[in-house]
Chains A and B, each alone.
Chain A
Amino acid sequence: MKILVCISHVPDTTSKINFTDGDSKFDTSGVQFVINPNDEFGLTRAMWFKEKQGASVDVINVGGPETEPTLRKALAIGADSAIRINTAAVDGYQVAKEIAQVVKDGGYDLVIAGRESIDYNGAMVPGMIAELTNANFVTNCINLEVDGTNAKAVREIDGGKETVSTSLPLVIGGQKGLVEESDLRIPNMRGIMMARKKPLNVVEATSADTETSSVKFEKPASKGAVTLVDADNLDELVNLLHNEAKVI
């Protein structure tokens, strides 16, 4: 089984979110970038398929050279090789179209992406890759088993979960549950050394078109201080929620 894991290069959750160039660009200065958490669950599940079922695992990112340390980290965790499509990621459709081309050319059986990135939160790349490559698609995936070309997946739904049967080629929008937090791997020194020798292939983009354009960013209005209510005066809390906040 040939697996491709999509790796989004995103600011660490604790990063300060600021913008530059007239609020048109994300300010990367001083920001630590990481593998998108939803992608990391998928990558770790892919490692399980590699170790238990002999799958090959490649990782892919659409972005400039600045994303390579994130791809190297994925290699250090255990992926076999990495692909960087050398173009700025502008919108979900363009990213999906670039990756879909690699999926078709490379004959991948299983594509695992995160259900959404924690920066753009578009939640569209995996579904678009599936549709562009004519593959089956399961998102919000919290469990995945593959047996030959048959797959069984569990999807989180509003208020519960559902179990589906499907087959390869398959695209997954993964999240926590594919593996648990405690299963995530911190690259060890050997992994990091090996990652330096693993192939990281830079592929020129197909110049896929975009469908949306980011105009600018805004930050939410700064919030006033919390209104503290005494624990012995909960009537006041009920009153505030009813008359001031108007939520009950």
Chain B
Amino acid sequence: MSVLVYTESENGKFKKTAFEVASYAKAVADQLGTTVTAVAVNANDVSELGKYGVDKVLNVSNTDLNKFNAKSYASVLKQAAENESSKVVVVSSSADSKYLAPILAVNLEAGYASNVVEVPSNTSPFTVKRTAFTNKAFNITTIDTAVKVVGVSNNSYGLVENSGSATAEDFSPSIPASGVTVESVDKVTDKVTIADAEIVVSAGRGLKGPENWGMIEELADVLGAATACSKPVSDLGWRPHGEHVGQTGKPVAANLYIAIGISGAIQHLAGINASKVKVVINTDPEAPFFKAADYGVVGDAFEVVPALIEKLKAFKAANA
């Protein structure tokens, strides 16, 4: 009956979202009066999960799972859910979790709600709040099936530490053949990704050219942030497509989103609106982004950004 949670790892290390979904699963388990079982695939040290409320870890070690495969991973989770007689399965909103969740839901005959932002307001009927209309509204939805799959929106619940500890158990599910084979992966490994980042620094056409991104990267470095860009910037080829955030790009749900030289078209705002605190830096005080932002600086990015970098460095040094 325990709540099952898929705790994602990369190169053996848990992602931050793994701790967030574990924290969320713990809250749901408390509501249901049950425990939390995590599924970890090829992770090095699963004991960390205990800190976030996980009671038991099903530890899967299998070289066939070295590369993510939605069908195989969904099968692992299905077998784990059956093993634990789980009625609730919690996943994150990472690209991989969103890829496997619909497959898992069909296999478990489970209703699936994605982009969930709060713990259930009721467990019978099982009622969750999720974002809809590309962050312009919330939808209160019940999941009516016996088994439920919940996809938690990134940075919506946060990390909640617990005093417990987790026991680990080896788990050896069968891995079905998959018709999709990963040939190559092209991934930046030394930078925080937009999906994992707590802070995102994003810049637009106001920067005038790709040669001016050095200060954006420096600002991101100081803040431990991911870099992103507006659609025109990726369309112009100034920055890679993977950095494009907005309705047709990547969604952003950061704690802090800093927009530099981005006017704030509605399509852009739709994609980043789930971020908690928004800062805009723009020369044009009439830019629509000022209506969406919490803090704004009217000024030239080429003066404001270098100055802000210095202030933040001083702040970091003082608070180190």
Interface residues of B in 61-107 (CB under 8 A from A): 68, 70-71, 94-96, 98-103, 105-107
Contact between B144 and A210, CB atoms less than 8 A apart: yes
Apart from A17-B136, A119-B132, A238-B315: 15 A-B pairs, beta carbons within 8 A? A118-B134, A123-B98, A123-B102, A156-B95, A157-B185, A158-B94, A159-B242, A162-B183, A165-B180, A165-B183, A166-B180, A176-B249, A217-B138, A223-B292, A223-B294
Contact between B127 and A121, CB atoms less than 8 A apart: no
Taking the closest CB of chain B, its distance from the CB of A211, in whole angstroms, is 3
Contacting residues, chain B, for A237 (C-beta < 8 A): 279, 295, 297, 308, 311
Q: Return 27 A-B CB contacts under 8 Å, by A number.
A: A14-B266, A93-B105, A119-B132, A121-B115, A124-B101, A127-B100, A128-B102, A131-B102, A131-B106, A142-B241, A156-B250, A157-B68, A158-B94, A159-B194, A162-B182, A162-B187, A176-B244, A181-B231, A211-B112, A212-B141, A215-B140, A216-B139, A230-B297, A237-B311, A238-B312, A240-B295, A242-B319
Taking the closest CB of chain A, its distance from the CB of B147, in whole angstroms, is 10
Interface residues of B in 153-189 (CB under 8 A from A): 179-189
**Which B residues form the contact surface with A (CB < 8 A)?**
68, 70-71, 94-96, 98-103, 105-107, 110-115, 127, 129, 131-145, 179-189, 191, 193-196, 198-199, 223, 231, 235, 241-242, 244, 247-250, 255-256, 266-267, 270, 273, 276-277, 279-280, 290-300, 303-304, 307-308, 311-312, 315, 319
Query: What are the 7 A-B residue pairs with the smallest beta carbon separation, nearest first?
Result: A127-B102, A160-B187, A231-B299, A211-B111, A159-B193, A131-B106, A136-B179
Taking the closest CB of chain A, its distance from the CB of B83, in whole angstroms, is 21
Taking the closest CB of chain A, its distance from the CB of B14, in whole angstroms, is 14
Contacting residues, chain A, for B127 (C-beta < 8 A): 215
Q: Decide if A214 is an interface residue (CB 8 Å cutoff).
A: yes
Complex CA gap A125/B134 in Å reads 17
Complex CA gap A113/B235 in Å reads 23
Contact between A231 and B99, CB atoms less than 8 A apart: no
Select which of A37, A126, A137 is within 8 A of B247 by beta carbon: A37
Q: For B110, B179, B294, B304, which residue has the most chain A Cβ atoms within 10 angstroms?
A: B179
Contact between A37 and B307, CB atoms less than 8 A apart: no
Contacting residues, chain B, for A140 (C-beta < 8 A): 95, 99
Contact between A214 and B139, CB atoms less than 8 A apart: yes
**Given the contacts A214-B139, A245-B294, A121 and B107 also touching, CB distance less than 8 Å:** no
Contact between B181 and A127, CB atoms less than 8 A apart: no
Q: Decide if A44 is an interface residue (CB 8 Å cutoff).
A: no
| A interface residues, tally (CB under 8 Å) | 82
**Which A residues form the contact surface with B (CB < 8 A)?**
11, 13-14, 17, 19, 26, 37-38, 41, 91-93, 96, 118-128, 130-132, 136-140, 142, 152, 155-167, 175-177, 180-182, 210-220, 223-224, 226-231, 234-235, 237-238, 240-242, 245, 247-248
Nearest neighbor of B94 in chain A, beta-carbon distance: A158
**Given the contacts A157-B96, A228-B296, A240-B295, A167 and B179 also touching, CB distance less than 8 Å:** yes
Contact between B142 and A213, CB atoms less than 8 A apart: yes
Select which of A142, A152, A215 is within 8 A of B142 by beta carbon: A215
Contact between B248 and A38, CB atoms less than 8 A apart: yes
**Given the contacts A127-B103, A156-B95, A216-B140, A211 and B295 also touching, CB distance less than 8 Å:** no
Complex CA gap A220/B187 in Å reads 35
